Amino acid sequence: MTSLDVASDLLDLLGDTRTEPRPDVQLEALTLAVSADLPVLLWGEPGIGKTSALEQLAGALELPLTTVIASVHEPSDFAGLPVVGDDPAVQGVPMAPPEWAVRLARTGKGLLFLDELSTAPPAVQAALLRVVLERRVGALSLPPGIRIVAAANPRASAADGWELSAPLANRFVHLRWVYDHDVVVRGLGGTWPRATLPRLDPDRLPEAVALARRAVCGLLTARPKLVHDLPSTETRRGGPWPSPRSWEMTLRLLAFATAAGASREVLSLLVRGTVGDGPGLELLAALDRLDLPDPEDLLASPETAVLPGRGDLRQAVLDGVVQAVRKRPERSRWDAAWAVLARALDTGAPDLVVVPATALAELREPDWDVPPVIDRLSGAVSVSQRASR
């Protein structure tokens, strides 16, 4: 046995690792986006394991991995090379795809990994648009079984880095990839976390679609400026931002996350990585409000009103009750609103009643008698105001 044979044996032993089920929020977000057939872009510093995570993901999902280093390719490697036939005036000039695309199409399924995206020049990024969105490489259409994941380094840490163009950035789900100390240490010891596709509950599919449509459409109806908001700076344009395309992606992710029972943390990574932090957080807040009681139902039966236990949600419900009275100010509705506030005082923190009670008092008409319950509320409001001062 030669020295190289011994070295090969040692390398085999070092590469002999196993996997284990382990909660990993960013890995779960990645597999959920891959399951939803959306292109994913992993942002992270060099050397933290983005490529290794993709190799492990491909192995766990039993998908062949094709890695293409975007920065070392020409635009024609993605747009195709013109091939002149016998009669181009009749047959046209088809754009021949590169070998890696033909191999992917022949396989029928796989994971296409576009690495070093932030070091690809603008001409290459432009050629990648159809690959990412339409799954077309030259004249070749990639089959539905192909999933696309890319990786990029922030411009400050990329060699000859470029900002991502806005059209290309808007086609991805952006995930910030960071290393977990415990995962790295355990992985170097031979055990890495296992990536698995999310288990979608067949019984929840209609509910998941309805919830996603209601949440996204409800938010955009109330906040029309969020439908399309192109950032003003080049750096922010290279990340997630809201557009009709990215909202459609968000709706799909929300439906998949609901059907899979994904955690709030995973959902937050996905929606903020698709439409940006601000719109994403607004969508998460809108989701919280979807299950809140209707103010009209509370005004109809204030004595039996069931209010949320969480402070911010309870505040939103009480504000909604006052707003409902403001839209249709009637004596009976005004009295009922005071009864709802009294119910809130009996079942929660008194400081949450201060603002809605003040707003409700301002809606009183001169001929409306002050309800008896206001004496209890005024005491709580006075104590809360003194405590605040």
pLDDT tens for 116-143 read 888 888 889 988 998 998 888 888 889 9
Mean local confidence (pLDDT), 378-387: 51
Mean local confidence (pLDDT), 278-301: 88
Residue 389 has pLDDT above 60, yes or no: no
Tokens matching residue 185: 């240490």
264-291 per-residue burial string, b: 16 or more CB within 10 A, e: under 16: eebbbbbbbbbbbeebbebbbebbebee
Confidence of residue 192 (pLDDT cuts 50, 70, 90): confident
Nearest Cα neighbor of 165 from 124, 116, 225, 113 is 124
If one compares 256 and 307, the residue with the highest pLDDT of the two is: 256
Confidence of residue 158 (pLDDT cuts 50, 70, 90): low
pLDDT of residue 160: 63
Residue 291 has pLDDT above 80, yes or no: no
In DSSP terms, 96 is beta-bridged to: 81
pLDDT of residue 384: 43
Kindly report the number of other CB atoms within 10 A of residue 121's CB atom.
13
Tokens matching residue 312: 């911010």
Tokens matching residue 138: 């030259």
- Taking the C-alpha atoms of residue 381 and residue 351, their distance in angstroms, rounded to an integer, is 7
Q: What is the mean pLDDT of the chain?
A: 86
If one compares 253 and 44, the residue with the highest pLDDT of the two is: 253
If one compares 12 and 241, the residue with the highest pLDDT of the two is: 241
Residue 91 has pLDDT above 70, yes or no: no
pLDDT of residue 22: 80
If one compares 126 and 383, the residue with the highest pLDDT of the two is: 126
Of the chain, the percentage scoring pLDDT greater than 70 comes to: 93
Mean local confidence (pLDDT), 79-94: 67
Q: How many angstroms separate the first and last alpha carbons of the chain?
A: 84
Nearest Cα neighbor of 205 from 255, 239, 273, 156 is 255
Cite the DSSP H helix spans in the chain. 3-14, 25-35, 50-60, 76-79, 88-91, 99-107, 122-134, 166-169, 181-188, 205-222, 234-237, 244-260, 264-275, 277-290, 295-300, 311-327, 331-347, 354-361, 373-388
pLDDT of residue 381: 54
pLDDT of residue 213: 95
Residue 228 has pLDDT above 90, yes or no: yes
Mean local confidence (pLDDT), 377-387: 52
Instruction: Please say whether the dihedral angle defined by the alpha carbons of residues 279, 111, 119 and 126, taken in this order, is positive or negative.
Output: negative
- Taking the C-alpha atoms of residue 24 and residue 26, their distance in angstroms, rounded to an integer, is 6
**Cα–chain center distance at 262:** 12
Nearest Cα neighbor of 33 from 151, 173, 178 is 173
Residue 156 has pLDDT above 80, yes or no: no
- Taking the C-alpha atoms of residue 276 and residue 229, their distance in angstroms, rounded to an integer, is 10
Residue 378 has pLDDT above 60, yes or no: yes
169 within 8 A of 237, measured Cβ to Cβ: yes
Cβ-proximal residues to 130 (8 Å cutoff; 6+ apart), any chain: 78, 79, 136, 137
pLDDT of residue 260: 94
Instruction: Please say whether the dihedral angle defined by the alpha carbons of residues 310, 312, 318 and 320, taken in this order, is positive or negative.
Output: negative
- Taking the C-alpha atoms of residue 105 and residue 141, their distance in angstroms, rounded to an integer, is 8
- Taking the C-alpha atoms of residue 373 and residue 371, their distance in angstroms, rounded to an integer, is 5
Mean local confidence (pLDDT), 361-365: 88
pTM: 0.77
Backbone angles phi, psi at 200, to 5 degrees: -90, 130
Which range, of 35-49, 241-255, 349-363, 365-379, averages the lowest pLDDT?
365-379
Is residue 376 exposed (0-12), middle (13-18) or buried (19+ Cβ within 10 Å)?
A: middle
CA angle 212, 128, 33 (to 5 degrees): 30
Confidence of residue 159 (pLDDT cuts 50, 70, 90): low
Residue 214 has pLDDT above 80, yes or no: yes
